[in-house]
Amino acid sequence: MSDAAKPDPSDEALMREEALVLEYDFDAPPAKVWRAVTIPALRERWLPDCDLAGAEPESTIAGEEVRYRLRDSEPPFRESHVIFRIEPNEDGGTRFRIIQQACEVALPQAANSNCCMMRAAA
């Protein structure tokens, strides 16, 4: 297993958006790793439902990629996307890439912000 963060060029857009990219090589075949990230009972062992914004994946490319939305369990309850990419490696095992990126957060506007609309009403 290697924990070197060596993203490929296809992840360049994600890297520019300040994503955390980790890459691992496993001896297990890709189908077994795929099961671990997509079958809820298996995924629950290492990525519990309480850490997810929703138990169902946001998107899936069968056998290759699955995307979940994570939510912090404590305020301010920040959210992020995590993408798991799976591909065969040159040793017959699996290259497993984890890409985590913070979600855009729209902060609420204060009622007394005195924006143009409020000044016009005064």
How does DSSP assign 56-119, residue by residue? S-SEEETTTEEEEEEE-SSTT--EEEEEEEEEE-TTSSEEEEEEEEEPP--PPPPTT---HHHH
Q: Rounded distance, CA 93 to CA 102, Å?
A: 30
The pLDDT tens digits for 86-116 are 999 999 999 999 999 988 765 566 666 555 5
- Residue 28 predicted with pLDDT over 90: yes
The pLDDT tens digits for 68-88 are 999 888 888 888 999 999 999
Looking at residue 32, what is its pLDDT? 96
pTM of the complete model beyond 0.85: no
**What do you get for the CA distance between the two ends of the chain, in Å?**
64
**What is the torsion angle, in degrees rounded to the nearest 10, for the CA atoms of residue 110, residue 111, residue 114 and residue 116?**
100
Does residue 17 or residue 38 have the better pLDDT? 38
Does residue 7 or residue 17 have the better pLDDT? 17
| Cβ-Cβ contacts under 8 Å for 117 (sequence gap 6 or more) | none
Look up residue 41 and give its two tokens.
């009972």
Burial of 43 (0-12, 13-18, 19+ CB in 10 A): buried
Strand partners of residue 94: 26, 88
